Amino acid sequence: MLETLKEFVCCESPSTEKAAADACASLIANTWKRRRVQVEVLEQKHRGAHLRITHVPEGGNPRGQVLLLGHYDTVYASGTLLKMPFRIAGGKIFGPGTFDMKAGIVQALFALDALQQLAAPLAKRIVFLWTSDEEIGSESSRKLLEAEARRSDAVLVLEPALGPQGLLKTARKGVGDAEIIVHGRASHAGLAPEKGVNAIHELALQLTRIKQWNNLTRGISVNAGVIEGGTRSNVIPDRARAVVDLRALRIADMRAIEKRLRALKPVSPGAKLEIRGGFSRAPLERKHSAALFQRAAMLAKQMGLKIGECTAGGGSDGNLTAALGIPTLDGFGAVGDGAHSPGEHIIAKTMPERAALLAAMLMHS
């Protein structure tokens, strides 16, 4: 497992560098081609290829499908390995993309190996989908993964687990960005202040209003992360803009926030508001993961492993599949810490445990 992980990590695959991502896709494809599976390399125009790998049970009469979903792209630009090399120390494996989520792909590969070597009886077809652009919003993979999810009875997402206990993610917040653009009227701040409509003042009033929508106990957060507007202090600005991060734990709350956003009215006479964007990934509500988690917990117990669950504040492609009503369990991948940071690592001894749990899950699907 370590050797395979080393190969995958040492082949850097930033989402935004197509040639590098394609090279990693073909490395991963070649590794899977050495198994009894069908490997499809789905070339993309602007991004790395997506990989669809299909395992059909012996006898070839599957009763349904399980989708194993993940991504091989990382947030690290080519050359990051020089500062952040693949290394093993104190039972931890460091390197860009180890935790998020190349180890998850390796674990899935070895789960499949275990099932094939044992000639385990499987009822369902297994589709592994490794995409190239999850870290930048899944634009090129969204249709593909949603179509594959619709054909599936369940989706297991090989994204990292949470914390040293490797908690599975049974709920994820929905996320999105909204833009609030204020159109005012420019004027000279000294000579004709009465003719101006100050877009910055108006934006400030709107931001004060939406700040009240925060409700952390319900899992709703609204965060103005970027503001811009104005040219000089003696000019009444005619335009100002804010980009706001939106999060919600419940679909009903997501809808309510979007509705309130669209219903915002200007406070200053003469100002106009333009609202763009909104949630891009709906929440993964626990009801979509509960049954799968219960099965995973029961199997883990039989195997002498402990697993727990948590709610994640960030979104993943699991949000997209759950939004279609397909049972989805996320965080089935590596155990470790430090995603998207120089200290990114996984805990080596958990790799075979997680692969075994995944194999058990597939046998009981």
Residue nearest to Zn ion (CB): 100
* Nearest distance, CB of residue 310 and Zn ion, angstroms: 16
133-172 positions binding Zn ion, by CB under 5 A? 159
Angle at 73 between CA 149 and CA 131, to 5 degrees: 20
Nearer to Zn ion (CB atom), residue 215 or residue 280: 280
Q: According to the binding rule CB under 5 A, does residue 12 interact with Zn ion?
A: no
Across the strands, what pairs with 128?
Answer: 53, 68
**Cis check: omega of the bond before 363, within 30 degrees of 0:** no
Give the chain's largest Cα–Cα span. 85
* Nearest distance, CB of residue 281 and Zn ion, angstroms: 13
* Nearest distance, CB of residue 159 and Zn ion, angstroms: 5
Q: Which stretch binds Zn ion (CB under 5 A): 13-21, 93-101, 105-113, 144-152?
A: 93-101
Q: Which stretch binds Zn ion (CB under 5 A): 96-104, 120-128, 150-158, 289-297?
A: 96-104
Q: Which stretch binds Zn ion (CB under 5 A): 16-24, 97-105, 263-271, 317-325?
A: 97-105
Name the amino acid, one letter, at 141: S
Q: How far apart are CA 112 and CA 98, in angstroms?
A: 20
Across the strands, what pairs with 167?
Answer: 162
Nearer to Zn ion (CB atom), residue 62 or residue 137: 137
Q: According to the binding rule CB under 5 A, does residue 49 interact with Zn ion?
A: no
The four Cα atoms 2, 3, 9, 10 give a dihedral, to 10 degrees, of 140
Beta-carbon contacts of residue 165 (< 8 Å; ≥ 6 apart): 306, 307, 308, 335
CB 133 within 8 A of CB 293: no
Which residue is it, tokens 């385990």? Answer: 120
DSSP states of 213-239 as a string? T-BGGGTBEEEEEEEEE-S-TTEE-SE
* Nearest distance, CB of residue 314 and Zn ion, angstroms: 9
* Nearest distance, CB of residue 303 and Zn ion, angstroms: 25
Nearer to Zn ion (CB atom), residue 159 or residue 253: 159
Q: According to the binding rule CB under 5 A, does residue 101 interact with Zn ion?
A: yes
Q: Using CB under 5 A, pick the residue from 12, 22, 100, 317 that binds Zn ion.
A: 100
* Nearest distance, CB of residue 78 and Zn ion, angstroms: 18
Site size toward Zn ion (CB under 5 A) is 3
Contact residues for Zn ion, defined by CB under 5 A: 100-101, 159
